[in-house]
Chains A and B, each alone.
Chain A
């Protein structure tokens, strides 16, 4: 469970101060799947960084699993990230010239697992995202979707309390993007994994149970999704396209 209370984040750009977050409070329970949406510059990425302990708020309180994170040193924050948080990025951020298995195992190096343990856990994580056949492949030998799946496996490896994904489908075509969302959905539904992702795609957002709408550093809407879409549901525009496809028109 994570809880942010009255989070304020101010960036100083030279003389001017940018208020990225203005008193944001949000509580996400274990097992939730949440989408954070909003226009660019609305503060969603800043919120994600703070929730993931990559950045600290200017003011406000933040708790992960009941542990208050104010005034922690950068070293202590690194330990929290290691244990509690799994990150997935828009640009995958895999290490080049490094196999999928080793990429997935990377966080384990920092938590001090031994070689056998690393190997076993990384294999399991890759299986979970359906990549057990790509263990030895390097990032440049994999498609974008496969790379993002490796990144998800890496995020899973330390059994984090929460997976935070910043525009995880942003660099993928819509079909592959839906595959990725499908993996998140499966992890959430089958393992009860808490997942939070930022997206600007309303269709992708509709696959979650809750959508938080952020504008100008404030939450303007925080609503549960009545009927979350299941992964694999065709996009409305795809439905339209198929209706207007040439074969169909011939029949008509």
Chain B
């Protein structure tokens, strides 16, 4: 009894009742299609986020101040200070470009319009480190900073929000009631997953300190910074520079090695990892939810096969009478359920891939159908066929020939 013969017998049994077989297969098709489509969307989102983060540069290190309020201890401040920046610059200035910034809330208006964003004081190097491109005008220069000039550079969205199509260059916006001349507009950069990079008002750091925030930006009489963006010139140095920064910050703030590190030093790579972890988990969850419908499809297969075994009791009896063993009957019914599930799996992969393609074409989400997704969902369909086929197949194989032949 060859596998091929068994397959032919299975095909005949399946085609004997086309509507019923079709409905059974439908359960598997929907399950597999759902798994393929949802996992593809999940993976598409993952790779979308990662590629955007990668677009920020993999050599980027960010240093930010304590997120929670820490009490002063021994006269030491846990705010990130401007002099921390100077200390770090002194040590790693050769190997990296460092852009400190101070970010605060200020009222930004043009005429009747108000910008919904914070104001960030930066140095000229900030443009380089963050790879900002200028759409029109120019970026903040070192001279602007020295003079604490009342100038501002706007993000693309902010410019649109405030000026609604007017050319902002040369016009004055009001920051906390004082006039600032708009000298440049940044090109659109898109969102980096969580925050828009196009909503910002940049002013010279010195201007932010002396003209806008004043004492608010000081701690213990010295200026603080919100953070630093550091672009490492050689990617291999990222790890060593991160530990150097930590060493400097601990030293400057009197933190011993056993104290908690109150500042956050993170590299783009770490951020990338945690982002893809999150979206990977989401993808698996989506897949699992879709898997439930595959499970229901499997129960459908089992149900139909049980009915089929009951209906074909006499046929099974006859097959046994003419010499079919338990094993042969078992395999016959397993092949039947397997054929259904493989067929459903193939169609499901096609339809799921089609759905993913359609979703991508609408532009709302990007779905990426990977070989892994197809392989896993197809394998799941086959497993469902085997697992839910086993019980009915054992029922069929276990029939006593004499009783099966008498079955009405």
Contact = CB atoms under 8 A, between A and B. Distances in A.
A, B from the same assembly: yes
| Most chain A C-beta atoms within 10 Å of own C-beta, residue among B5, B315, B321, B327 | B321
B1 A110 contact: yes
Nearest to A80: B323
A42 B328 CA distance: 34
A106 B402 contact: no
Interface string A60-94: 00000000000000110011011100010100010
A97 B323 contact: no
Interface in B318-333: 318-328
Interface in A102-122: 106-107, 109-112
Interface of A, secondary structure class, is helix
Interface in A129-155: 154
Nearest to A48: B402
A8 to B, nearest CB: 17
B325 A75 contact: yes
Nearest to A166: B405
A110 B328 contact: yes
A78 B325 contact: yes
Q: Which of B1, B16, B405 has the most CB of A within 10 A?
A: B405
Contact of B322 (A55, A75, A106, A112): A106
Interface in B221-249: none
A171 interface: no
B314 interface: yes
A86 B1 CA distance: 19
B323 A54 contact: no
A78 B327 CA distance: 11
B321 A74 contact: no
A49 interface: yes
Nearest to A50: B402
Contact of B12 (A49, A98, A107): A98
A243 interface: no
Contacts of B326: 74-75, 78
A109 B318 contact: no
A40 to B, nearest CB: 13
B345 interface: no
A79 B325 contact: yes
B327 to A, nearest CB: 7
A252 B154 CA distance: 129
| Most A-side CB within 10 Å, residue of B1, B320, B327, B402 | B402
B314 A112 contact: no
A93 B16 contact: no
A78 B323 CA distance: 5
Interface of B: 1, 5, 12, 16, 314-315, 317-328, 400-402, 405
15 contacts: A52-B321, A54-B320, A74-B326, A78-B326, A81-B320, A81-B322, A82-B322, A82-B323, A89-B318, A93-B405, A98-B12, A109-B1, A110-B1, A154-B322, A158-B323
Given A81-B322, A98-B12, A110-B328, 12 more contacts: A52-B321, A54-B320, A55-B402, A75-B327, A78-B323, A81-B321, A93-B314, A93-B321, A97-B12, A106-B322, A110-B319, A154-B322
